[in-house]
Structure 1
Amino acid sequence: MTETNSTPAAPPERRRYSIWDNTKFMLRLARESVPSVPVLAVVLAVAAATRTTVEMFVAPVILRQIETHAPLNSLLLAIVGFTLLLVLLAAGHDLCETYTSLGRISVRIRLLEKIGLKTASTSYINTLDAAFRAKERKSTQSCSGNNTASEQVWTTYTELLTNVIGFVIYLTVLSGLNGWLIALVLVTAVASYLSGKRINEWGYRHREEEQTAFGRFDYLQSAASGRDYAKDLRIFGLRPWIVELRAGAMRTLRAFYAHRERTTVWANVIDVVLTFARNGVAYAYLIWLTLAQGLPASRFLLYFTAVGGFATWITGMLDQCSELNKESLELAQIREFLDWPEPYDLDGGERLAARPGHVYELRLDHVSFRYPGADRDTLHDVDLTIRPGEKIAVVGLNGAGKTTMIKLLCGFLDPTAGRVLLDGHDIREYNRRDYYTLFAAVFQDFSVLDTTVAQNVAQRLDGIDRDRVRACLNEAGLTEKVMSLPGGLDAHIGRQIYEDGVDLSGGQTQRLMLARALYKNAPILLLDEPTAALDPIAENDIYEHYNRMTAGRTSVFISHRLASTRFCDRILFMKNGRISEQGTHESLLAAGGDYAQLFNVQSKYYQDDTDANTNAGTADAASGATDTTVKKADSNE
């Protein structure tokens, strides 16, 4: 038996993304969508820093004009000049701010698209990982609004650059003062930044705890407000229970955020203390220069303004560094999700070219599979060859491993031991996406989108073969229902988006999924309980069409109802993750094993029902009782 190690182990090793790494990431993202966003950030920073610098010089220049007894026209010219310059700078800044806002939104939406693409295209087994799902929710949350890190980071870049430019300008103005004063301001500001940085990283260090708490609250919120649970909430009176659970999740989440904010506030306290100390020393020194050294009033005013502004630039620069650090941590979580490793090579491997008319052979070569964290195999040493064009039925009790077998055949999961072979070749040698194209399937979980009937069948927006859609709907027995809807093939399914949308019943939805599988016209057809929601008459109608639907294809059919397997070439009875019996319906009954015993149990309900119908004496009673007992039989399977 060939041993493999393809089952994903623990969550991926956490990577560190620096601020510079995330800055380069955002610049690449902007270049893909709106290249003007970083350019306008620089323009805004220059305009803002220039305007503040001009404002700093207004009063000292005018005061200097008065000190030197400059002519009135010169004084007025200075005032008018400063006014016009400030108006132009303010107007240009506001214009750029308005223009860049749409671009920043576009960049955030582009990031959301990447998150959606990762979710939709990741290896299937990742979707079973709770850590992957939690990271997905957190990433989406970090892109959900204008104030989230994915958009707000551009404002932070702009303000940081503004502070850097202002710092350089003011440092030049203050270069004539004593160097120790400037050093004091720098040292205290850096100390404030370093302490704040350490404290503000608390949330990032505990992000797993936040993800768990938020995920639980989000789930309960969806359960309380979604349509899926609406009937149960009312019939079983679940509202108090759900509300209590949600309140508990909210308390946990609120406690986490309260702890985070209590921790973060110490960064602000330290910053206030250090800012007060450095400003007090600087102002005392300037007053001494004025009183002892005869510093002119205009120079005093300039230095006095510059010292305050210089401290503000440093504080602002370090504050923005701290803010950028927090936003970078959020961006890092998004990148952790986008860079989440793929256990399967979805883009590499040998290409599988389309082979019209070719019928494939599938084989499970001593395959075992164990889900991550499980203490035993779900499938154990299964050896099975599905011959080209063969119709296989897989039956057994719940938990026998039937659906897991389907997922292994599809390539959604890789075996922990053994091989899955396609025409004798290990499927891991092939391009996984090409391999998926060989299958059409109807799973127990449906993926019906709120769109038109035709688009749900064809799974595309354009280039739909409408005649083929009609033919597939007819094969699935849904033509009459679809043609009765307003719009026919263009009728809207679902009511979350369209006001005129319709909700199909469970059986109708299964027929729609059958039509979709037929439309794909893949050489291998997999049906996992495709008639579970159908009544016996509708189920029998599907079986009558089954041979025609599967003509020229290899097919695997899973069912709990043993009476529905007679049309298959071979029946596999699974028990405890193994194939315990296989053969035709007649041979398995003759063997008198588990299959025969379960069939006799199920058929007893049909027989008892037949007697009841005879006693009732009416066809209507027979129909109703049959439907009732079939449902009863299902519940006992």
Structure 2
Amino acid sequence: MKENEKAKYTIWENVTFMIATAWESQKRVLFICLAVVGISLALNLVQLFIAPEILAQVEKEASVQELFLTICLFTGGLFLFQALNAYLATIRMPGEIDVRTAIIRQLTRKNLDTSYPNIHDPAILKLEAQAKRATNGNSDAAEHIWRTITDLLTNVAGFIVYLFLLSNINPLLLLLVMGTAIGGFFISHYIYEWEYRHKEEREVYDKEINYFLVKPRELALAKEIRIFGLAPWLRELRMKSMKALSAFLVRREKAYLWANVVDVALNFLRNGAIYAYLIKQTLDLGWPASKFLLLFSAVGGFTAWITGILTQFNQLHKESLALSRIQEYLHLPEPFSFEEGLPLPLAHDYELTFEDVSFAYPGSDKKILDHINLTIHPGERLAVVGLNGAGKTTMVMLFCGFYDPTEGRVLLNGQDIRAFNRRKYYALISGVFQDFSILDTTIAECVAQTADFDREKVLRCLDQAGLKETINRLPKGMDTHLGREVYLDGIVLSGGQTQRLMLARALYKDGPILVLDEPTAALDPLAESEIYRKYEGMTAGKTSLFISHRLASTRFCDRILFIADGGILEEGKHEDLVAKGGPYADLFEVQSRYYREGGEKNGEEK
């Protein structure tokens, strides 16, 4: 967020949000903050009075016992308050981390629960990244704000106490002290804000350096780095980014030099005036040296409190901007109904309908689907085929409820799905999608998506997906770990094996609606044929939607839709569409000719 950009939430609203979060997750953080303020102020006052009081005892020619007692009292006070300060500093961090962790949990829940369109909106993705940055570490806003609040309250309390101590000082001198402190702060602040004003430039350099440090370590790039000899090129790119960052830092330090010059000049002016005034008062009024020392130290401390208030308030303002991003993300409006949505209709079978549906992705005017009317009857196996980019996956997105249509309605048993609790609607659907992910867990947990699973059902689903024999050959069977980011003994499945695993996962969920979006794209022809033979058993009693660009793979479906140019061009059974001699038949001929020619060439080579 830019410095002059207005935050949606005020400083007070953000501080209140943090206090409420701490009260729910770790109340002791609040009490420790107040204790730190009191102890810090007490320690400062002991440090302020110790030298003047000892000097005062010497001036009045106190006995050795009185002098020793004074030294012991102040020394004991120093030890006590320093020990308490150190103790509080030790115990405060775990609680502050707990509060930050509670906010991270809120952000994670929001990310997992938010409506699907939100996770693809560039503006929301940027907002989420900014919110996460505010929770990354101890020095970020979601945790450091407690230090800022504590320091601000300490400085305000110190300012009030010192203002009382200096009540008999000439008001003009106090105004001079306050003026030089405030003026020096704003001048130095403007200069030191140079990096903040150029933070986007700094972020570019940091991101580039981090990218070229992290990316080459990824397993996915290991083969390319070695085959193409990319290491020297990657080092060259990293060095280029580091040189750019070094030049940026040189420019920053040149700017900061002027802040030091201004600070020295104002300190000379302020201290010179204070010395002159206090020396004159001491000579004219006969002040003892102890009072001179106390007042001079108090004026210096008074200046530090003023600067501290301004510094900490400025820091609080910056951290409030970051916390505002957290609140904005947590309070994002949801386009879908969740808890408040209607319950699903009670039924054994479900019918899905497109009623005059059109759709364009957010931020685009191009319609991917244009006024489509379609009904998938209960228990029907529907195949949707077409060239890449025809809108097959978009149709899946709408049927699954990941997006709402731009125009028209998607109906479940005759009722608009927008009225339902969208999470309950998702529970009806088992799916295998083109873009899937696997967590580093055991194979069984990946299939069941829970640690409490039915082992027999997992084996049955692996068998239906054609992966049972492969899994049984592993030393730990279905208890084998997947991936190597968490477990050293984890395995990495091939693309085809991973796709079969995703199919087993969909079968385990056993939803009444089965959606398969290119589920065999990574399989070889024999494995693909095996899946097709089992497809009838997989879909028994289910409403199913099968998406493919391979026309021969859809023969087992009850009905085939051929879509192009955002609409349904042809529909019917495979044999009928081939006999019709239309676009479906033409594309089928092209694909089948490829396989025939490939087979002939392979035969000649043999």
User: TM-score scaled to structure 1, two decimals?
Assistant: 0.87
In the TM superposition, residue 58 of structure 1 has moved relative to its aligned partner by 1.1
Partner of 1:20: 12
SS in 2 for 1:159: helix
Equivalent of residue 572 in structure 1, options 556, 561, 574: 561
In the TM superposition, residue 19 of structure 1 has moved relative to its aligned partner by 2.1
Matching of residues 197-236 of structure 1 within 5 Å? 222-236=214-228
* Residue ranges of structure 2 left out of the alignment (5+ in a row): none
CA contact (8 A) 2:337 2:420 kept: no
CA contact (8 A) 1:138 1:211 kept: no
Q: 2:463 matched to 1:474?
A: yes
In the TM superposition, residue 27 of structure 1 has moved relative to its aligned partner by 1.2
CA contact (8 A) 2:344 2:425 kept: yes
CA contact (8 A) 1:15 1:336 kept: no
In the TM superposition, residue 512 of structure 1 has moved relative to its aligned partner by 0.8
Partner of 1:406: 396
In the TM superposition, residue 244 of structure 1 has moved relative to its aligned partner by 6.1
Q: Which whole-Å CA distance do the structure 1 matches of 2:258 and 2:170 have between them?
A: 32
Equivalent of residue 167 in structure 2, options 163, 175, 190: 175
Q: 2:543 matched to 1:554?
A: yes
CA contact (8 A) 1:62 1:79 kept: yes
Matching of residues 285-364 of structure 1 within 5 Å? 285-352=277-344, 355=346, 358-364=348-354
Q: Which whole-Å CA distance do the structure 2 matches of 1:209 and 1:368 have between them?
A: 42
1:546-580 deviations in Å (ceiling 9; x for gaps): 11111111110111111110000111111122111
SS in 1 for 2:357: strand
**Residues 269 and 414 from structure 1, CA distance in 2 versus in 1: closer, same or farther, beyond 3 angstroms?**
farther
**Residues 271 and 152 from structure 1, CA distance in 2 versus in 1: closer, same or farther, beyond 3 angstroms?**
farther
Q: 2:268 matched to 1:279?
A: no
**Residues 610 and 63 from structure 1, CA distance in 2 versus in 1: closer, same or farther, beyond 3 angstroms?**
closer
Comparing 377-386 and 281-290, the one that deviates more: 281-290
Comparing 159-168 and 198-207, the one that deviates more: 198-207
In the TM superposition, residue 200 of structure 1 has moved relative to its aligned partner by 7.0
**Residues 155 and 176 from structure 1, CA distance in 2 versus in 1: closer, same or farther, beyond 3 angstroms?**
same
Matching of residues 2-41 of structure 1 within 5 Å? 15-41=7-33
Matching of residues 416-427 of structure 1 within 5 Å? 416-427=406-417
**Residues 216 and 425 from structure 1, CA distance in 2 versus in 1: closer, same or farther, beyond 3 angstroms?**
farther
Q: Which whole-Å CA distance do the structure 2 matches of 1:470 and 1:513 have between them?
A: 14
Q: 2:138 matched to 1:139?
A: no
Q: 2:166 matched to 1:166?
A: no
Q: 2:491 matched to 1:499?
A: no
Q: Which whole-Å CA distance do the structure 2 matches of 1:144 and 1:33 have between them?
A: 18
Q: Which whole-Å CA distance do the structure 1 matches of 2:254 and 2:291 have between them?
A: 43
Q: 2:516 matched to 1:527?
A: yes
Equivalent of residue 430 in structure 2, options 440, 445, 457: 440
Comparing 146-155 and 475-484, the one that deviates more: 146-155
Q: Which whole-Å CA distance do the structure 2 matches of 1:452 and 1:130 have between them?
A: 34
Q: Which whole-Å CA distance do the structure 1 matches of 2:245 and 2:389 have between them?
A: 36
**Residues 408 and 240 from structure 1, CA distance in 2 versus in 1: closer, same or farther, beyond 3 angstroms?**
farther
User: TM-score scaled to structure 2, two decimals?
Assistant: 0.92
Q: Which whole-Å CA distance do the structure 1 matches of 2:107 and 2:508 have between them?
A: 29
Partner of 1:54: 46
SS in 2 for 1:382: strand
**Residues 231 and 275 from structure 1, CA distance in 2 versus in 1: closer, same or farther, beyond 3 angstroms?**
same
CA contact (8 A) 2:385 2:547 kept: yes
In the TM superposition, residue 249 of structure 1 has moved relative to its aligned partner by 6.5
Q: Which whole-Å CA distance do the structure 2 matches of 1:577 and 1:228 have between them?
A: 35
1:226-274 deviations in Å (ceiling 9; x for gaps): 2223323333445566566666776777788887887787767655554
Partner of 2:594: 605
CA contact (8 A) 1:189 1:318 kept: no
1:502 aligned partner, one-letter code? I
Equivalent of residue 376 in structure 2, options 386, 391, 400: 386
**Residues 614 and 326 from structure 1, CA distance in 2 versus in 1: closer, same or farther, beyond 3 angstroms?**
closer
In the TM superposition, residue 71 of structure 1 has moved relative to its aligned partner by 2.2
CA contact (8 A) 1:391 1:568 kept: yes
CA contact (8 A) 1:204 1:329 kept: no
**Residues 373 and 267 from structure 1, CA distance in 2 versus in 1: closer, same or farther, beyond 3 angstroms?**
farther
Q: Which whole-Å CA distance do the structure 2 matches of 1:29 and 1:249 have between them?
A: 40
1:581 aligned partner, one-letter code? E
Partner of 2:143: 151
Q: Which whole-Å CA distance do the structure 2 matches of 1:478 and 1:52 have between them?
A: 71
Q: Which whole-Å CA distance do the structure 2 matches of 1:155 and 1:456 have between them?
A: 42
Partner of 1:429: 419
In the TM superposition, residue 223 of structure 1 has moved relative to its aligned partner by 3.8
Q: Which whole-Å CA distance do the structure 1 matches of 2:167 and 2:468 have between them?
A: 85
**Residues 238 and 389 from structure 1, CA distance in 2 versus in 1: closer, same or farther, beyond 3 angstroms?**
farther
CA contact (8 A) 1:137 1:215 kept: no
Comparing 147-156 and 214-223, the one that deviates more: 214-223
Equivalent of residue 34 in structure 2, options 27, 42, 46: 42
Q: Which whole-Å CA distance do the structure 2 matches of 1:54 and 1:83 have between them?
A: 9
Comparing 234-243 and 86-95, the one that deviates more: 234-243
SS in 2 for 1:367: strand
In the TM superposition, residue 473 of structure 1 has moved relative to its aligned partner by 1.1
Q: Which whole-Å CA distance do the structure 1 matches of 2:196 and 2:360 have between them?
A: 33
**Residues 528 and 232 from structure 1, CA distance in 2 versus in 1: closer, same or farther, beyond 3 angstroms?**
farther
Partner of 2:94: 102
Partner of 1:624: none
In the TM superposition, residue 460 of structure 1 has moved relative to its aligned partner by 1.7
In the TM superposition, residue 208 of structure 1 has moved relative to its aligned partner by 7.1
2:167 aligned partner, one-letter code? S
Comparing 483-492 and 540-549, the one that deviates more: 483-492
Partner of 1:586: 575
CA contact (8 A) 1:200 1:267 kept: yes
**Residues 178 and 39 from structure 1, CA distance in 2 versus in 1: closer, same or farther, beyond 3 angstroms?**
same
Identity of aligned residues (%): 51
**Residues 429 and 270 from structure 1, CA distance in 2 versus in 1: closer, same or farther, beyond 3 angstroms?**
farther
1:392-450 deviations in Å (ceiling 9; x for gaps): 11111111011011001111111111111111111111111111111111111111000
**Residues 35 and 533 from structure 1, CA distance in 2 versus in 1: closer, same or farther, beyond 3 angstroms?**
same
1:120 aligned partner, one-letter code? L
**Residues 297 and 250 from structure 1, CA distance in 2 versus in 1: closer, same or farther, beyond 3 angstroms?**
closer
CA contact (8 A) 1:197 1:325 kept: no
CA contact (8 A) 2:558 2:573 kept: yes
Partner of 1:10: none
1:44-96 deviations in Å (ceiling 9; x for gaps): 12111111101111111112112222222111111111111111111111111
1:113-157 deviations in Å (ceiling 9; x for gaps): 222222222221122222322333333233222222222222222
1:334 aligned partner, one-letter code? I
2:364 aligned partner, one-letter code? A
Q: Which whole-Å CA distance do the structure 2 matches of 1:329 and 1:202 have between them?
A: 18
2:467 aligned partner, one-letter code? L
**How many corresponding residue pairs?**
602
1:309-342 deviations in Å (ceiling 9; x for gaps): 1111211222222222222222233333333333
**Residues 386 and 247 from structure 1, CA distance in 2 versus in 1: closer, same or farther, beyond 3 angstroms?**
farther
In the TM superposition, residue 499 of structure 1 has moved relative to its aligned partner by 0.4
CA RMSD of the aligned region, Å? 2.8
**Residues 309 and 331 from structure 1, CA distance in 2 versus in 1: closer, same or farther, beyond 3 angstroms?**
same
Partner of 1:73: 65
Partner of 1:373: 363
In the TM superposition, residue 493 of structure 1 has moved relative to its aligned partner by 0.2
CA contact (8 A) 1:197 1:322 kept: no
**Residues 572 and 136 from structure 1, CA distance in 2 versus in 1: closer, same or farther, beyond 3 angstroms?**
same
In the TM superposition, residue 212 of structure 1 has moved relative to its aligned partner by 7.3
